Chain A
Amino acid sequence: EADIYQTPRYLVIGTGKKITLECSQTMGHDKMYWYQQDPGMELHLIHYSYGVNSTEKGDLSSESTVSRIRTEHFPLTLESARPSHTSQYLCASRRSAGRGGELFFGEGSRLTVL
């Protein structure tokens, strides 16, 4: 089934650890996004990509990196996790052609940094 998948769904790690949150979509979408969201709160754009080898920074990007080597895969890496990184991370994608177009979200990765 065409969808957008995130792993891990839940993760508890210690301060200073390096982590990578995985995101894969099987919908053939060119555009992919990472958002940070505290439960029920505002969505903050971290990074986005318009296609392979294209990445752009959003509002909260300074402490993380992304890569887009394959169309379907858009991993997010925190080099050194801190308690302030405790949050939910949502990956999203949409088609490239035409104006607008629905943004599809993954189920999220809930990160706790101790």
Chain B
Amino acid sequence: GENVEQHPSTLSVQEGDSAVIKCTYSDSASNYFPWYKQELGKRPQLIIDIRSNVGEKKDQRIAVTLNKTAKHFSLHITETQPEDSAVYFCAATKGSNTGNQFYFGTGTSLTVIP
């Protein structure tokens, strides 16, 4: 099956700086890579995703890049704000009709210091 590794496990940045979280995956058939943000005591929520036919996707201050050859993808947050503090999870899945179980990374706890 798929194996998703996520680094770092914890990350502290000063407000206004950038934060980068990296994930690697093992199954070259994986073709959908979402990122979830989980604030303290809340449910995980999708913040951005990328499909395997795209190398980069951007949404305001967040962006995701995908390198299919190296089998890794990264989340980039620019101009960080205190409200970005949360645990972030990457995931990988194959988009077939039946075999699309999500494989999550172990999470990155991001702290933005005001």
What is A's interface to B at a CB cutoff of 8 Å? Answer: 31, 33, 40-43, 45, 48, 50, 58, 90, 96, 98-103, 105-108
Residue of A nearest to B43 (CB): A105
Does A99 lie within 8 Å of B95, measured CB to CB? Answer: yes
> Distance in Å from the Cβ of A31 to the closest Cβ of chain B?
7
What is B's interface to A at a CB cutoff of 8 Å? Answer: 31-32, 34, 36, 38, 40, 42-46, 49, 51, 87, 89, 91, 93, 95-98, 100-102, 104-107, 109
> Which residue of the partner chain, among B46, B95, B101, contacts A102 with CB atoms under 8 Å?
B46
Residue of B nearest to A44 (CB): B104
B-chain residues with CB within 8 Å of residue A50 when the two chains form the complex: 98
Residue of A nearest to B31 (CB): A99
State A19–B88 Cα separation when bound (angstroms). 30
> Distance in Å from the Cβ of B105 to the closest Cβ of chain A?
8
Q: A100-B49, A102-B46 are in contact. Are A40 and B40 (CB under 8 A)?
A: yes
Does B51 lie within 8 Å of A107, measured CB to CB? Answer: no
Does A90 lie within 8 Å of B44, measured CB to CB? Answer: yes
Does B32 lie within 8 Å of A43, measured CB to CB? Answer: no
State A108–B45 Cα separation when bound (angstroms). 13
Q: A40-B109, A43-B89, A98-B95 are in contact. Are A103 and B43 (CB under 8 A)?
A: no
